[in-house]
Structure 1
Amino acid sequence: MMKEGFDIDWLVDRGFAADIVKMLIGENEFADLDAFESLDRHSRRLRGMALQHLQFFIEYGDRKDPVDVDGKILSPYPEYFYAWKLAGCPGISLHQLDRLISVRRSSSS
């Protein structure tokens, strides 16, 4: 896995998965809307599945099994999340990811 994949894991393991979600949907100062626009359809799909996985993770924890919520089955997508990281985290600016890591490391020290 590439460095950014390990950076993503570092953030998730320390409780900052919501920061990654906000980057992926363009709702924090680390989001890079230009990174969204340059995505091909496969990268968009990976980004979307990584987003769904992170949202599931935030809501239900590190579960491997689906959950039933009001008759709707919600599932984690760890294989897509891994593929997204392996592909270099499409949809996230690596420069902005480095900035976020720097900010979170200094705030957790």
Structure 2
Amino acid sequence: MEELIRELVDFGRAEEVALLMDGDSKYYSGSVENIPTSIDEVYVFRMATEHLKFVAKYGQDVKMKKVDGHVFSAYPEYFEQWVSGGCRGVCLGDVKNYLKEHPLSSR
């Protein structure tokens, strides 16, 4: 699943991955097969979600953005840790269901 998640982000689908993580995607099944099980995993999951929301809004090449006096940051290190840890909080079946309706152009 790690490769699929990276491809989704590389193809501009970071927002959908974040929606899957938040349970707000129509492809979210509510499965508990890959949920974070420790406080550390939950923290990494939340920070990876924030990173993906940032990437969806500002792009992968932006590391920090100042808007109306607020500073927003990307968290690529947490995203990498989350992906390397098995993408806890996202079900492979949900990702596959999304890709059935929204295939990546290179597939």
TM-score band, normalised by shorter chain: 0.7 to 0.9
Shift of 1:44: 1.1
Structure 2: unaligned runs, 5 residues or longer: none
Question: Which residue is 2:77 aligned to?
Answer: 79
- Where in structure 1 do 4 or more consecutive aligned residues deviate above 6 Å? none
Rounded to whole Å, the distance in 1 between the matches of 2:103 and 2:15 is: 16
2:51 matched to which residue of 1? 53
Answer yes or no: is the 8 Å Cα contact 1:46–1:90 preserved in 2.
no
- 1:37-79 superposed Cα distances (whole Å, 9 cap, x missing partner): 9422122111101110011101111135311112111110111
Q: Using a 3 Å threshold, how does the CA distance of structure 1 residues 100 and 37 change in structure 2: closer, same or farther?
A: closer
Identity between Structure 1 and Structure 2 (%): 28
Contact 2:44/2:79 (<8 A) preserved: yes
1:70 is aligned with what amino acid? D
Q: Is 1:22 the equivalent of 2:19? A: yes
Q: What is the SS of the residue equivalent to 1:68?
A: strand
Q: Does 2:3 match 1:11?
A: no
Residue 102 of structure 1 aligns with which residue?
100
Aligned residues: 105
**Is 1:23–1:32's contact at 8 Å kept on the other side of the alignment?**
no
RMSD: 2.3
Structure 1: segments with no counterpart, 5+ residues? none
Q: Distance in 2 between matches of 1:38 and 1:76?
A: 23
TM-score by structure 2 length?
Answer: 0.82
- Normalised by the length of structure 1, the TM-score is 0.81
Give yes or no for contact 1:5–1:86 (8 Å, CA) kept in 2: yes
